[in-house]
Chain A
């Protein structure tokens, strides 16, 4: 446990050096399908995108994740050609497309509310992109490709229907078929699941992944839903205030969030401030409020005295009583809420002198814990080497 976390700390240090505005690893030009180079977008006084640098790898599923107003949609619209950067460039396949209008870019998009054409049938909607191709394609070819696209999204029987006769999920599949029929280099998805109910959303997510695998097209998704981003993406680009905060695989982001913003946004985390007492062998001894001391991998790679420490709810344990072993820390706390969630139970606690905590206890450990109720005193067990130190926010 301790070794694994220490190693994580070293890896975290490595990714730190690349800084906020760079990607992890540099794909060769062959593998890079699109690229932002210092792309900045201003709307009057508002800085919607601030010096974005990112290389999108051919065939990957990349998500822009962040709250509304973080710049993720602006980034997507710069790829689509609906916005051109105020500064910097956007490249697709090595070509600077910053001033190329949307209709001349090899990129297609699935819109948030699908933006289907209500005066056309489903088949006419799907064939729209093919009908714009010059020189004109043969009618028979268009019909054949529309049929193939209908089959791909399992809507064979719906070609002659009007779009408003379809359910939300079906409309989304039409939007998808319409966007892939021109075989774009990039498929852009602007919160495509936002209008679907939870059950349908899961289904559509799996379908989207299958489709991406079978087509081999690069997908770029914009979402504010962290679960969606975590479950679907090869890589996630977390954005805040117009900037890229961290880019990495879902595991990277979960295990090694760069700073408080990422730790807060991806999964749940207990974030505590503390004071570094000593640094030794990759571990930092940190005093929390009230004097309790914990040993945390020294992940920030700097020499600050005051730091924020993050620890995931499932990395902590609960104990009724007893002594802490070795360097493990024990925090006295009172249970304020207890939510049974099937495979685990979520405890909200108030730790003495420190404040609120969340601890997730797996089903089996729950049995050993005995029937603790709201209001009972327990101990939070913080194993030495668990958690990480967050980088300072910019």
Chain B
């Protein structure tokens, strides 16, 4: 049993560890270790294409995470106030959304966007001379919509353990709905909201499949890595991959800490 567990974990984590290890290689091969250097990190960080793709990824991840956090939190609050079948229906929709494969969402979004653009663009061109196309907007929109489900799930979880009588108590003591939200609800669900933001950011930052379909002329970091692999793998790719992984892991760990039961104590 123990050996089996070790084998499973080795299978999962060994390739990642090897990539991280090879990223410190001094040679040109991406699949062997030839001495130690941080040279490839320097090259990656001074490559203008990498830096541009990184900047695009950060913009998309940040803006889509903001969108997802605001909309997701509002949806979670509305769902908690809802009763009966309608709530079950929406809850199920949210859970299913998380489980749909990225490639399906990517294709579906691409077809939907292109169809809408074709319908709208003649009108827009006639009126303002501009036209809609795939790019930053569609990336942020799609990532925001998908990661919204993650935020809804996290915030809903926190609201479950939140004593609704507190809202009545606050109202009873003279606080209107907005004041109650700011002083009572928000401080207690803030950890879940922040964790949701970080997860949404990480998801968008790491996503390749959905972005690949709707990115248009934009290049995010995962898309850049994918296209440069086709030109041949260098330890530079390993270095970029390792940096992305470390950044993502850091955000995920922070999110986990925020969702700890110890932090949830404030929600009792």
Contact = CB atoms under 8 A, between A and B. Distances in A.
Given A117-B166, A118-B268, A164-B268, A103 B172 contact: yes
Interface in B80-133: none
B165 interface: yes
Interface stretch (B174-182, B208-216, B230-238): B174-182
Nearest to B167: A115
Interface centre among A119, A178, A182 (most CB of B within 10 A): A119
B173 A164 contact: no
B37 interface: no
Given A111-B165, A113-B165, A115-B166, A102 B268 contact: no
Interface string A110-123: 01110111110000
Contacts of B268: 118, 164
B183 to A, nearest CB: 8
Nearest to A101: B171
Interface size of B as a range: 20 to 34
B266 A102 contact: no
B136 to A, nearest CB: 38
A132 to B, nearest CB: 4
B265 interface: yes
Interface in A197-232: none
B168 interface: yes
Interface size of A as a range: 20 to 34
B75 interface: no
Interface in A87-121: 101-104, 107-109, 111-113, 115-119
A129 interface: yes
Contacts of A104: 174
Given A132-B179, A164-B268, A115 B171 contact: no
Contacts of B166: 115-117
Chain B interface SS verdict (over half): helix
Contact of A118 (B168, B172, B174, B265): B265
A294 interface: no
Nearest to A104: B174
A4 interface: no
Contact of B174 (A112, A119, A132): A132
Contacts of A108: 172-173
A107 B172 contact: yes
25 contacts: A80-B168, A80-B172, A102-B171, A103-B176, A104-B174, A107-B172, A108-B172, A108-B173, A111-B168, A113-B165, A115-B165, A117-B170, A117-B184, A118-B188, A118-B267, A118-B268, A119-B187, A119-B188, A119-B266, A128-B175, A129-B173, A129-B174, A132-B174, A178-B169, A179-B172
Interface of B: 163, 165-166, 168-176, 179, 183-184, 187-188, 265-268
